[in-house]
Structure 1
Amino acid sequence: MNTPLVAVTTVVAVLLAGIGALSTVLRRRIGTAHLAAAGVLELLLVVQGVLAVVGLADGHRPVELTTFLAYLGSVVLLPVAGLLWARTEPTRWAGTVLGVAALTVAVMLWRLVDLWAVTRG
């Protein structure tokens, strides 16, 4: 796992959560800013996923490999699921749905870093 990339991705996720919260407070549905931020977040997550898979191919083996792979797959899919759910939400709570998904991504990323750090010796 690339920790600087995780930090940048976390910042983007928190910004997306903030945009979602703002739209909820303003009683607005999600818009272009939400879509753009979610797209950037997804791009960063895919890059991080590719780097993790390359690390696994190079022989890095976390102790909890199954848990690591489950988190990795879930964290990449979570923004897409949150965005799809938010797009179908007809009320102002769409921003909250997207914000919760973004904050969940931020937490899961740091859990992935913890899992990656513990390897079989």
Structure 2
Amino acid sequence: MRPLLVQAATVVAVLLVVLGVASTLARRRIGLVHLVVAAVLEAVLLVQAAVAAAALVGGDRPPDTATFVSYVVGVVLVPVAGVLWARTERTRWAGTVLAVAGAVVGVMVWRLLQLWEATGA
């Protein structure tokens, strides 16, 4: 796990949260900018997953590998699920859906880093 990727994912996730909350408060539906930010977040998460997979294949393993792998798979799916749900939501609450997805990703990437850096003690 690279802390730089965690920080990048956090910055993009916070941007998605801000955009989602702003569109909800403005009583507007989501637009292209929301989708682009979600796509950038997904790209960062996919890079992070690839780095984690390469480290696991290379023999680097956190003490709780099963939980770590579950988090990696889950965090990659959250933005996709958020965008799909937000696109089907025809009201202003679509922004809230994306904001929650961004907040969840922000928490999950830091938990991934904790799991990776755990010493097992």
5+ long unaligned stretches in structure 1: none
Is 1:112 the counterpart of 2:112? The answer is: yes
Contact 1:61–1:120 (8 Å) recurs in 2: no
Contact 1:60–1:119 (8 Å) recurs in 2: no
Paired residue for 1:23?
Answer: 23
Deviation, structure 1 residue 30: 0.6
Is 1:74 the counterpart of 2:74? The answer is: yes
- C-alpha distance in 2, partners of 1:9/1:70? 18
Is 1:2 the counterpart of 2:14? The answer is: no
Contact 1:12–1:41 (8 Å) recurs in 2: yes
Paired residue for 1:92?
Answer: 92
5+ long unaligned stretches in structure 2: none
3-state DSSP class of the match of 1:95?
Answer: helix
Over the residues paired in the alignment, what is the CA RMSD in angstroms?
1.2
Aligned residues: 121
Contact 1:29–1:95 (8 Å) recurs in 2: yes
Q: Percent identity?
A: 55
Deviation, structure 1 residue 11: 0.4
Contact 1:61–1:119 (8 Å) recurs in 2: no
- C-alpha distance in 2, partners of 1:107/1:118? 17
- C-alpha distance in 2, partners of 1:52/1:23? 34
TM score, norm. by length of structure 2? 0.97
